[in-house]
Amino acid sequence: MIKALELTDLVKKYKNFEAVAGLSLTVAEGEIFALVGPNGVGKSTTLKMIATILTPTSGSVKVFGLDASRDAHAVRELISYLPEEAGAYKNLTGREYLEFMAMVFLKDKARALAAAGEGGLLSGLGPRLGDKIKTYSKGMARKLLLARAVMIKPRLAILDEPTTGLDIVNGYEIRKTIKALAAGGMTFVISSHNMGEIEYLSDRIAVINNGRLLACDTPAALKARFATDDLEEVFIKLTQ
């Protein structure tokens, strides 16, 4: 098994508050791995440490064997990160935004244009790519942002609440895109409060509370452990 991600005794402290308290887990290459838990228990903090935005207080994050603190630049070449509250430049068209962001990440014009073209297809926005982003619905903007995150073909895509606030159709289309990309070998670490989404997408789920790992297994194994067909019930029993 190739380890796409390995967290070892990961800790993040803010003065007297410990947001992440000794978290250890591994994610295999090509896996869709979900990180779930109540609000404010360290999920987004963990994702930001994986994305090299935050530095751990102690412990380590390794992405395909590279230390995210010591080798941050090299790790950034392998990952893409979509935060929950990501935004786009509203006065650009969707196509201009994808081309601009592709150049930021890839530097080479030919590669950037090819990636932006792929992003346009992945977004499913069609002719609306020629319209300014300020005219987009929330669902359209989120699909554009997901396309931006995956068009550069990262080995590891980190998605924080990828379908938050979206309607059924837009949420379904984003989940379908994630599934297809994972089938092609891309690894995903996602966080979501939507248990139906988590069950549909995830190969394995890590449930955390107060910055600590409570359980990590497949959706089926977690439901069997608690003798229920309801993943929400598993979540509630673990966290309460």
pLDDT band with cut points at 50, 70 and 90 for residue 64: very high
Mean pLDDT of the chain: 92
In DSSP notation, 162-193 reads TTTT--HHHHHHHHHHHHHHHHTT-EEEEE-S
Cα atoms found within 13 Å of the Cα of residue 148, Cβ hemisphere only: 26
Mean pLDDT check: name the lowest of 37-41, 49-53, 112-116, 153-157.
37-41
Element (H, E) at 109: helix 109-123
Residue 206 scores a pLDDT above 80: yes
Which is it for strands 187-191 and 156-160: parallel, antiparallel or unpaired? Answer: parallel
**Using N-to-C axis directions, what is the helix angle for 138-150 and 109-123, rounded to 10°?**
140
Domain range summary for the chain, segments of one domain joined by + = 3-78+154-239, 87-153
65/58 Cα distance (integer angstroms): 17
Residue 112 scores a pLDDT above 90: yes
pTM (2 decimals)? 0.92
Q: How many whole angstroms from its chain centre is CA 44?
A: 10
The pLDDT tens digits of the residues spanning 118-139 come to 999 989 999 999 999 999 998 8
Residue 240 scores a pLDDT above 90: no
Please report the pLDDT score of residue 185 as a whole number: 93
Q: What is the CATH number of domain 3-78+154-239?
A: 3.40.50.300
